[in-house]
Amino acid sequence: MTHNVLVVDDEPKLCDLLASALSQNDIAVFTAGNGLHALKVLESEDIDLVISDWRMPGMDGPQLLAEIKNRYPQLPVIVMTAYSTVKNAVQSMRNGAFDYIAKPFDIDELDITVSKALQFRDILKDNLRMRAELDEHQQIDSLVGDSPSFRRVLSAIDSVRESNATILLTGESGTGKEMVARAIHKHGNRADKPFVAVNCAAIPEGLLESEMFGHRKGAFTGAVADRVGRFQQADKGTLFLDEIGEMPLALQAKILRALQERIIEPVGDPRERKVDVRVIAATNKNLLDAVANKEFREDLYYRLNVFPIPLPALRERVEDIAPLARHFAHTLGVAAGKRFSGFSAEALQAMARYSWPGNIRELQNCVERATIVASGAEIEEQDLPAYLFASQPTQPGALVAEGSVPADLEAALAEVEKAYILAALAQSNGVQAAAAQLIGISERSFWYRLKKLGIHVDKIVR
């Protein structure tokens, strides 16, 4: 496993020496010439250990140590100085330093100290990961439902969780694709290894290759230090590629090679690196249509589609709305210090009539709001958000019954999606974050849809 170490010293030669020595131990080394520069690196990179000089111009070692302990309390810091005194050593340890080494130092001694610090960091990360998994347990448990369509999803999860096959999750936004990916990881043979999620639509195209495969210092403007990519971060674990249909064609060939050969090549570094990653991809697009339109590589599609799992929209599993709502009411109510006996019959009927364009995510947001405003032990119809009653969306099959089947399904769906977004923007007075919450999607997904549908918010708000 590669670790990221930040060396802070105002002597460039010493930084280079440490970088050369530490890089032999599968360590990516970042350098900074002073404390302020070091804090900027910490803001942009995932650093596992800081090795800092004691005396530096501007922000010195003790000041940097105090700032790191304030901002990143679990990040270990090794202090080094030529002015080695017992007083300085004791003071640095009291202030939270992991250890202390004196210049000139022995490389073997440095290796031992760094190894101990990184082991300590790994233990802390494992603890944090286990806590996160416990926190996510409620979300994973929200794979609730007994409808036939959802039972097929659960059966597929059980079939594939112990294998290393690449999985393609398809379905509308909010149907729980990441939740399913996490469940597969948690209950599979890589459960004790990292789960790394990447939203391919949320990262600028120019940075996506670096984000995926990492880069070497100086590979491009702004590459001030080496960076470990998501494939390496997920080594031995699971890499979840969300919104894979938005990946640029230029990068798809490199993703294909990584999947086929399990080899990556960081930007600006000719050395290849082997990775052992289980890939789960997800999309709300029809990738076969994208292949036909030359927007997605056919070979990559078939490489991803080894084990497809389609996720049903919530309107296709109406019988699961009530148990899901009860589950969310219980877990969210406990978090808020409230206990609910359930929902009134009228509230359940109102939720069953609504078509949930935002799917499970929208339902969870709806129930969360209801748990906040509800004053009794039972959630009533009036506790539900007003938009559930403002305009009941057309139910599946209504268009067919009226004899007006759209000639272009994608265009018709886009119009429905646009109508929901415009209504949410109108109701939220143009506040995008509030509009996204109204229809149960993330701000990033909302921004992506604005761009895709050509909606300009400044033209909506009066």
pLDDT at 395: 43
Using alpha carbons, select from 217, 198, 216 the residue that is nearest to residue 208.
198
- Report yes or no: 217 and 260 within 8 Å, Cβ to Cβ: no
E strand intervals along 254-305: 263-264, 273-274, 278-283
pLDDT at 347: 93
Does 385 sit behind a cis peptide bond, omega within 30 degrees of 0 on the bond before it? Answer: no
Task: State the burial class of residue 459 (Cβ atoms within 10 Å of its Cβ: 0-12, 13-18, 19+).
Answer: exposed
pTM of the model: 0.59
pLDDT at 344: 94
- Report yes or no: 367 and 332 within 8 Å, Cβ to Cβ: yes
Which residues pair with residue 419 across a beta bridge?
A: none
Pick the CATH number of 398-462 from 1.10.357.10, 1.10.10.10, 3.40.50.10470, 1.10.10.60: 1.10.10.60
CATH 3.40.50.300-classified regions of the chain: 142-312
H helix or E strand, kind and range, residue 177: helix 177-186
Q: How far is CA 330 from CA 134, 341, 342, 358, 408, in A?
A: 17, 8, 8, 21, 42
Confidence of residue 129 (pLDDT cuts 50, 70, 90): low
CATH 1.10.10.60-classified regions of the chain: 398-462
Q: How far is CA 275 from CA 16, 39, 164, 239, 371, in A?
A: 28, 30, 13, 11, 45
Q: What is the CA radius of gyration of the chain?
A: 26
Please give the class, per CATH, of domain 142-312. alpha beta
CATH 3.40.50.2300-classified regions of the chain: 3-125
Instruction: Give me the architecture of the 3-125 domain, per CATH.
Output: 3-Layer(aba) Sandwich (3.40)
What is the rounded CA–CA span in Å between residue 60 and residue 409?
63
Confidence of residue 346 (pLDDT cuts 50, 70, 90): very high
pLDDT at 288: 94
Confidence of residue 400 (pLDDT cuts 50, 70, 90): very low
- Report yes or no: 382 and 198 within 8 Å, Cβ to Cβ: no
